[in-house]
Amino acid sequence: MSTKTRGSWVQSANEELCDFPIENLPFGSFFKRHEINPSPCIGVAIGNQVLNLTALAMAQLQSSPLITPQIEELLNLFKGQHLNAYMARSSKDHQLFRFFLIQCLSVNSPLQSQLNPHLIAQDEVTMLRPCSIQDYSDFYASIHHATTVGAMFRPDQPLMPNYKWIPIGYHGRASSIVPSGTPIRRPSGQTKGSGNQAPFVQPSRRLDYELEMGVFIGAGNAMGQAIAMADSKEHFFGLCLLNDWSARDIQGWEYQPLGPFLAKNFASTISPWIVTREALEPFAREFTRVESDPQPLDYLSDATTLAQGAYDIRLQTWLETQQMREQQLGPVKLMESNFHEAMYWSLFQLITHHASNGCNLNPGDLLGTGTMSGPQKDQAGSLLELSEGGKTPLQLPNGETRTFLENGDTIILKAFCERDGYPRIGFGQCSGTITA
């Protein structure tokens, strides 16, 4: 596989397995460490560095043919504390600013000397949520996950009749979305007693992770105005990794008849960088569905959009236990799947369906895809599936076993886009450690 990159004067961006080559340039927000009263800044990842766009916007850049009035206008959007103002702009503006950044960071850039002071090592910053997230909805878009989990509760009917006709989702809790590295406190909740025993409250004993992707909305839509499939790409800003932590014992008791509530809203972890639609385009592919299945209704169908409606993204889940750290062992990979194989509904269908009743999406809104499980058992995106509901413990290389997460366990999600002739695009890590 060729990993040839355009080449950047930031040398770490040219390394073969770098997550953030110049072809990526994901956006994020951060604090500079060791600074008294730090303010949030907006930046892009390049190699092992962050280009501080907020500081760059505040600086008086010397005149250059690269800095047009339109670029100046877009650069000024980063003077605020949130990325949302930039996300709200058109895809044409995003493409223009991306080309500007590539020119700035390429070998022999005329602006290298002016940008160099605004680079910060990634290990010298604390990453925040990448934008202001006011609303969060979570979907159930992997038919493999839905079928496996459904069979645990309804062996005679794993999928409900609506699943193949409508993207299933629910409104989540934006306030408890946290960036990678944030410790996750084991939740307590009401759990069903056995037999005629009354329910009781205790710390969750069946704490789980869910490997998902997070879809960030760019430009919004007015309340009452639907988004057509043909226009859905204009509202898609980019992707992140998402771990929708789940307390399965709490969930099993509370979810009927209205769906997830306290079993889900105690924490959701996201990777801190948004990989943009423009960076993902070389890895786009046709989104297809099994011909024997019902085909989407007209409002969820657009041949042009679906012709490039899926993305080749390798997804991985890794586990590091407390004992592994004490024994100085590395984390173990639990599974690997592919985004396009896991999705029964395209992310563009999710956007379109969410707004089809006139729901107003806003810049920075986050849509979870639901657990991304592949067609094979070892491609399951949760411990619930891998352990068959806790009946089959996972055997770890150091002799430990797991059915669900224990205190001290760290879950690490990773994702990569790969294609012959293109450098690898990474998402960074999405990690969280369970505390008592």
DSSP letters of 177-197? EEETT--EEPPEEEEPPSTTP
Average pLDDT over residues 327-355: 97
Residue 366: DSSP 8-state: E
Backbone Cα Rg of the chain: 22
CB contact set of 38 (below 8 Å; sequence gap of 6+): 31, 32
pLDDT of res. 3: 54
pLDDT of 4 above 70 = no
First to last CA, the chain: 44
Number of neighbours of residue 92 by Cβ within 10 angstroms: 9
- Same domain (yes/no): 183, 256: yes
**Looking at the domain assignment, is residue 104 inside a domain?**
yes
**Looking at the domain assignment, is residue 3 inside a domain?**
no
- Same domain (yes/no): 155, 197: yes
**Looking at the domain assignment, is residue 54 inside a domain?**
yes
**Positions marked active-site:** 145
pLDDT digits (tens, 9 = 90+) for 49-101: 999 999 999 997 877 888 899 999 999 999 998 999 999 999 999 999 999 99
Average pLDDT score over the chain: 95
**Looking at the domain assignment, is residue 315 inside a domain?**
yes
- Same domain (yes/no): 66, 169: no
**Residue 309's domain spans which residues?**
136-435
Query: Which strand (E) or helix (H) includes residue 306?
Result: helix 303-307
CA 254 to chain CA centroid, nearest Å = 26
pLDDT of 2 above 70 = no
| Tokens 């509202």, residue located | 235
- Same domain (yes/no): 106, 186: no
User: What CA–CA distances, in Å, run from 360 to 130, 225, 240?
Assistant: 21, 7, 22
pLDDT of 5 above 80 = no
**Looking at the domain assignment, is residue 2 inside a domain?**
no
Query: Which strand (E) or helix (H) includes residue 348?
Result: helix 347-355
pLDDT of res. 195: 85
User: What CA–CA distances, in Å, run from 209 to 265, 364, 372, 412?
Assistant: 13, 24, 11, 10
Name the packing angle between helices 69-76 and 91-105 (round to 10°). 100
Residue 248, classed as helix, strand or coil, is helix
- Same domain (yes/no): 95, 51: yes
Strand 284-285 and strand 310-311: the pairing is antiparallel
- Same domain (yes/no): 202, 55: no
pLDDT of res. 34: 83
- Write down which residue in 103, 127, 151 finishes a domain: 127
pLDDT digits (tens, 9 = 90+) for 394-408: 999 999 999 999 999
Residue 426, classed as helix, strand or coil, is strand
**Looking at the domain assignment, is residue 6 inside a domain?**
no
**How far apart (Å, rounded) are the C-alpha atoms in residues 95 and 32?**
28
CA 77 to chain CA centroid, nearest Å = 24
- Write down which residue in 109, 127, 145 finishes a domain: 127
- Same domain (yes/no): 380, 250: yes
Number of neighbours of residue 312 by Cβ within 10 angstroms: 17
Q: Which amino acid, one-letter code, is at 262? A: L
**Looking at the domain assignment, is residue 171 inside a domain?**
yes
- Same domain (yes/no): 100, 154: no
Our count of domains for the chain comes to: 2
pLDDT digits (tens, 9 = 90+) for 113-166: 999 999 999 999 999 999 999 999 999 999 999 999 999 988 889 999 999 999
pLDDT of res. 1: 39
Nearest to 369 by CA among 321, 413, 435: 413
Q: Give the CATH number, domain containing residue 16.
A: 2.30.30.230
- Same domain (yes/no): 73, 148: no
- Same domain (yes/no): 288, 316: yes
pLDDT digits (tens, 9 = 90+) for 368-424: 999 999 999 999 999 999 999 999 999 999 999 999 999 999 999 999 999 999 999
Torsion of CA 37, 40, 42, 47, to 10 degrees: 60
CB contact set of 29 (below 8 Å; sequence gap of 6+): 40, 41, 42, 43, 81, 82, 83, 127, 128, 129, 130, 131, 272
Structure token digits, residue 299: 């409002």
Nearest to 239 by CA among 32, 430, 412, 43: 430
Please report, for the chain, how many H helices and E strands are present, in that order.
Answer: 13, 27
**Looking at the domain assignment, is residue 44 inside a domain?**
yes
- Same domain (yes/no): 113, 239: no
Q: Give the CATH number, domain containing residue 322.
A: 3.90.850.10
Burial class of residue 261 in the structure, from the number of CB atoms within 10 Å of its CB (0-12 exposed, 13-18 middle, 19+ buried): middle
- Write down which residue in 127, 154, 181 finishes a domain: 127
- Same domain (yes/no): 146, 122: no
